[in-house]
Amino acid sequence: MAATILDGRKVADDIKNEIAEEVAILKKNGHKAPHLAAILVGDDGASQTYVNNKIKACKKVGFEYTLLNFPETISEAKLMTEIDRINLDNDIDGLIVQLPLPAHISAAKVTDKILPHKDVDGFTNENYGRITSKNPGLLPATPFGIVELLKRYKIDIKGKHCVMVGNSRTVGAPMSTIMAYHELATVTVCHIHTQDLASHTRQADILIVATGKPSLIKADMVKDGAAVVDVGITRITTSENTRGYVLSGDVDFEEVAEKASFITPVPGGVGPMTIASLLLNTLKTTKANHTI
């Protein structure tokens, strides 16, 4: 049986259309358009592509946007000053700093400098802590997008066994918390030190993988009929196309698609949903901060 593709591109387009309609109404009623600022440090090709996709999405839904591109050599202190400046700019509603940052800059320090109500990636300690509050702040964009994708395909989460492979602060840790706390799944978190990974992944009704290890998950590690979400996206060098690389997820798509009931493609699965969530967070914070 071939799995149903969880088409993140299509669902993200639906969400963008919904946002665009709301933005058009805001503007018609004399309110400001939401405004997202993105900081990109250096000239890493993948990061440039991701930031360009975010800017393109802003244009599509009628948001204002500001792109700040700093050289690789920018000091941490200067970057912190720039973030402060944007924090104080009342016209800017959301700010993201594209990761990874160069080794001389602390990503933890820089992301936590963003005011929590402008932190549309949901990376600050305050927003992270508030995941388990009765009144959550801005939810981390990738986990938020994954839950939305599962829900739009009507995949049951409550009471199901979700196995999260990866415990990163940006995806694995918040994702597992959201699945257990908000979505009421039974959650197992696996990571680099997990012994006999396959014995855990084989128990998953919902398997979410965010390790950055291309094709780590093979068919024999997946339960029949599982829903499989692949967060990985790694550029692998090749001479077989003019771009010079192919993209690979953490899941062996060809093999696993024969066994799973649902699967995200790479690209076109989780990535577009992260961007849709960024836009939703930016719209939410604009409305809250300007009491619309």
Nearer to ligand GUN, 213 or 223 (CB): 213
The reply on whether position 98 binds ligand GUN by CB under 6 A is: yes
Which x/- pattern over 107-146 shows residues binding ligand GUN (rule: CB under 6 A)?
--------------x-------------------xx----
Minimum CB distance to ligand GUN, residue 110 (Å) = 10
Nearer to ligand GUN, 100 or 225 (CB): 100
Cα separation values, 181 from 120, 138, 165, 174, 177, Å:
21, 16, 18, 10, 6
The reply on whether position 99 binds ligand GUN by CB under 6 A is: yes
Spell out the residues 6+ positions from residue 203 whose beta carbon is closer than 8 angstroms to its own: 161, 163, 188, 223
Q: Is residue 203 annotated as part of the catalytic site, yes or no?
A: no
Q: Is residue 121 annotated as part of the catalytic site, yes or no?
A: yes
Which x/- pattern over 145-184 shows residues binding ligand GUN (rule: CB under 6 A)?
----------------------------------------
The reply on whether position 58 binds ligand GUN by CB under 6 A is: no
**Identity of the residue numbered 102:** P
The reply on whether position 3 binds ligand GUN by CB under 6 A is: no
d(Cα 198, Cα 217) in Å, to the nearest integer? 8
Copy the structure tokens of residue 16: 């963008």
Q: What single DSSP character describes residue 136?
A: -
One residue of 61, 96, 150, 227 binding ligand GUN per CB under 6 A: 96
Cβ-contact 37, 101 below 8 angstroms: no
Report which residue's Cβ sits closest to ligand GUN: 99
Cα separation values, 284 from 23, 38, 56, 141, Å:
11, 17, 19, 13
The 10 Å Cβ neighbour count of residue 199 is 11
Catalytic residue from among 7, 16, 93, 98: 98
Q: Supply the residues annotated as catalytic.
A: 54, 98, 121
Rule CB under 6 A: which residues touch ligand GUN?
96-99, 121, 141-142, 274
